[in-house]
């Protein structure tokens, strides 16, 4: 399965987030059966960790109104897969736990402006929300998503000291895993290298993942740089589908099939079947109208 370290030396893990981050920006409701078939194709491709939905207010993100149903079916079908959901607050975490999940990604932003736009709270209030989730569900595995870790659509480039302070606060309440997100795709390789080297040295017991949007065609390179400098989870979306509805200018995600292809050509065995993964991306392109950044499916359209 994807993520196991093997003879190739691939010690990271491909984490597919398309069923959440790819779908959330689509205005027209995607039928639940299409979502489930997409996840089925991703599991068959060998992706062992998949973010299947988010437990958010259906008024804020109507696309995720079937989160409980998607979760119920997926847990029944794929008991051996690592399935998780994104949540913004205690209410969302409770919904995820009640649906049967044992792992969530709790989201907050490094930028005050984006945090207020995204979850309606100050950063300090979101930290307190994570603390409540930790205290209420002590057995729940939590990864803290830090959005706008590299740049914000409202505040511009983000600096390292506030990021370090935020990780320190979250570490103090028992969070040991973090996903650093380039929400609008403004990061560059030197910045990514510096950030991952710095956080890795300062928090040697923590796990750091990376989530890069491909707005400026930097997703593949920045993800690779992050991997080379300690990122354990590499988040991507089949077809490159995605974007943040609360971040102006954020286009698609790094395409999972492009990432797997690059890693394969570099000699890494990700455990993912590239052909089947490409089938999943093709399925999405046929059934969901959205913003795709994946180069393999673009090439096929041009041929």
First-to-last C-alpha distance (Å) of the chain: 32
Question: What count of Cα atoms within 13 Å lies in the side-chain half-sphere of residue 277?
Answer: 27
Is 244 designated active site?
Answer: yes
Instruction: Tell me the C-alpha distance between 59 and 276, whole Å.
Output: 35
- The structural domains of the chain, with segments of one domain joined by +, span 13-302
Instruction: Return the CATH architecture of domain 13-302.
Output: Alpha-Beta Barrel (3.20)
Catalytic member of 74, 152, 181, 244: 244
C-alpha span between 245 and 260 (Å, rounded): 26
User: Consecutive 10-residue runs of the chain (303 residues): their mean pLDDT?
Assistant: 54 96 93 98 97 95 97 97 97 98 98 93 97 98 97 92 98 98 93 98 98 89 97 97 62 90 95 96 94 77 53
Tell whether pTM > 0.85. yes
Residue 239: predicted pLDDT: 95
In DSSP terms, 14 is beta-bridged to 234
86 burial level (CB within 10 Å; 0-12, 13-18, 19+)? buried
Quick: pLDDT tens for 188-207.
999 999 999 999 999 999 99
């Amino acid at each position: 399965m994807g993520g196991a370290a093997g003879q190739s030396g691939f010690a990271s893990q491909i984490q597919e987030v398309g069923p959440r981050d790819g779908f959330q920006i689509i205005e027209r409701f995607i039928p639940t059966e299409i979502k489930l078939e997409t996840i089925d194709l991703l599991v068959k491709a060998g992706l062992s960790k998949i973010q299947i939905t988010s437990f958010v207010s259906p008024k804020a993100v109507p696309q995720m109104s079937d989160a409980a149903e998607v979760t119920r079916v997926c847990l029944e079908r794929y008991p051996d897969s690592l399935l998780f959901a994104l949540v913004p607050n205690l209410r969302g975490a409770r919904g995820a736990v009640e649906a049967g999940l044992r792992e969530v990604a709790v989201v907050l932003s490094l930028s005050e402006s984006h945090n207020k736009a995204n979850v309606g709270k100050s950063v300090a209030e979101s930290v307190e929300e994570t603390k409540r989730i930790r205290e209420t569900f002590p057995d729940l595995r939590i990864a803290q998503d830090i959005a706008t870790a590299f740049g914000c659509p409202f505040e511009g480039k983000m600096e390292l000291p506030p990021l370090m302070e935020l990780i320190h606060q979250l570490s103090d309440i028992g969070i040991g895993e973090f996903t650093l997100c380039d929400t609008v795709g403004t990061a560059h390789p030197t910045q990514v290298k510096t950030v991952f080297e710095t956080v890795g040295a300062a928090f040697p017991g923590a796990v750091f993942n990376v989530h890069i949007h491909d707005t400026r065609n930097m997703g593949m390179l920045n993800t690779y740089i992050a991997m080379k400098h300690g990122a354990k989870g590499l988040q991507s979306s089949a077809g490159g589908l995605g974007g943040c509805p609360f971040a102006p200018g954020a286009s698609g995600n790094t395409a999972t099939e492009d990432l797997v292809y690059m890693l394969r050509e570099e000699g890494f065995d990700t455990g993912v079947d590239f052909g089947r993964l490409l089938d999943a991306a093709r399925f999405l392109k046929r059934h969901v109208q959205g913003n795709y950044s994946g180069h393999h499916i673009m090439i096929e359209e041009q041929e």
